[in-house]
Chains A and B, each alone.
Chain A
Amino acid sequence: MGDLVSRARRGDKAAFEQLYRDNAGRIYAVCLRLSADAGHAEELTQDVFVRAWQKLETFRGDSAFSTWLHRIAVNTVFQWQRSENRRSARLAKAGSLAATPTSAARPALQLDLERAIARLPAGARSVFVMHDIEGYKHAEIAAITGLAVGTLKAQLHRARKLLREALER
């Protein structure tokens, strides 16, 4: 277990802040892509780190801290997505992904792809982000989402098809 994590487990907030600095980008990215909304991604990222702080006692070092944190992020976003009210809000605001300040410095192709991902149907987007971007295996996604592997593969196939069509326009 790293020194920062050990110190954070003992309640050292300065150490936890450094863990935030080291991991915020990675966590914000997955929250942003799964939620497809910059504002919600910020809230979700905050939630992830608050939950991580509360759960630090349970982190045993069996995996890397970043992996453990990433799993908390994915679970946090999926819990959020299951909330019907928030889902409605998300749909209303979908498409604000491109408004993030970090977008300006990125190649046009990447931005087109990010926008196309953000516009995917929620289910297809989640599977695509988890599998193709974050590298989760079908079985892992099935365990998190509760969906059958066959369903996930169909969603992934659909997501890729829609993305190809969007990028070819």
Chain B
Amino acid sequence: MNHQRVSSLLSSYVDGDLEAHQVVEVEAHLETCRECHDEVVGLRALAAAVAQLPRSIEPPTDLWPAIDSSLASPTVKLGLSDQTLRSLRFPLAAAALALIAVSSLVTALIVGPGEEPRTTSASPALATEGVSFIAQWRRSEDEYLRATLELVESLDASTRQLAPETVELIQQNLQIIDAAIQESRAALAVDPANRDLIQSLSSAYQKKLEVLQQVNGVLAQL
């Protein structure tokens, strides 16, 4: 093996990356070549110096405030962002029970007693015809509103523990849904048996329920 070839292998030799036969040839060359010998000594000295370099260097300034502010920019959408939901801290045991009751009611409204579940999108919230259906809907709606109110009150009670921007975001999202609910209720007041309007209102209720369920689900993991 000539000098140029050995010289190109010295880094790998120092790293222990050469095949056995290459090691033999390189070491034979090193015994006779001062330049390559010195290069190996230099490479080993460099490796030793590198080994002394600190693996950790503290940033000159605390970067956490800037990072923190980047993390605190939740996405505004109809439902609350996961990040916002995760930041919620409020006692929800009683509200969680109410939520289960509400979920059952809405499911009953959508599915109907004794029927196989139907997809919400494929059917009006309440497909049963007649006056009994309207009465059932209104009773269930009252219970739904009562239970939802408990959840919202729990949320209100917790606002002291939340960042102002988080509270604002929650309120914005709930206001969007409440506006849709009010619109549907106003239309239903004029046309109380309109199945499309009932479906629209049920859908808005369901969205609000989903937001609150999302909160409940995240809190259950804390």
Contacts and interface: CB of A to CB of B under 8 A. Distances in A.
Interface in A18-47: 20-21, 24-26, 28-29, 32, 38, 41-42, 45-46
A12 B219 CA distance: 12
Contacts of A101: 60
Given A11-B218, A160-B46, A100 B57 contact: yes
Nearest to B222: A10
B8 interface: yes
Nearest to A156: B11
Contacts, number: 100
Contact of B60 (A100, A106, A113, A157): A100
Contacts of A132: 47, 50
B37 to A, nearest CB: 14
Interface stretch (B19-27, B78-86, B114-122, B138-146): B78-86
B49 A11 contact: no
Contact of B66 (A12, A46, A156): A46
Interface residues of B, number: 37
A133 B53 contact: yes
B167 interface: no
A148 to B, nearest CB: 15
B71 interface: yes
Contacts of B72: 13
Contacts of B61: 42
A17 B39 CA distance: 46
Contacts of A32: 57
Interface in B55-106: 55-61, 63-64, 66-68, 70-72, 82-83, 85-87
Interface string A76-111: 000000000000000000000000111000100110
A113 B11 CA distance: 18
Interface in A126-169: 132-133, 153, 156-157, 160, 163-164, 167-168
Which residue, B10, B63, B85, B218, has most C-beta atoms of chain A within 10 A?
B63
11 contacts: A10-B86, A12-B86, A25-B57, A25-B59, A26-B56, A28-B63, A29-B54, A41-B59, A50-B67, A114-B53, A167-B49
Given A25-B56, A28-B63, A100-B57, 7 more contacts: A10-B86, A13-B87, A20-B64, A28-B57, A49-B67, A102-B57, A160-B11
Interface of A: 10-13, 16-17, 20-21, 24-26, 28-29, 32, 38, 41-42, 45-46, 49-50, 53, 100-102, 106, 109-110, 113-114, 132-133, 153, 156-157, 160, 163-164, 167-168
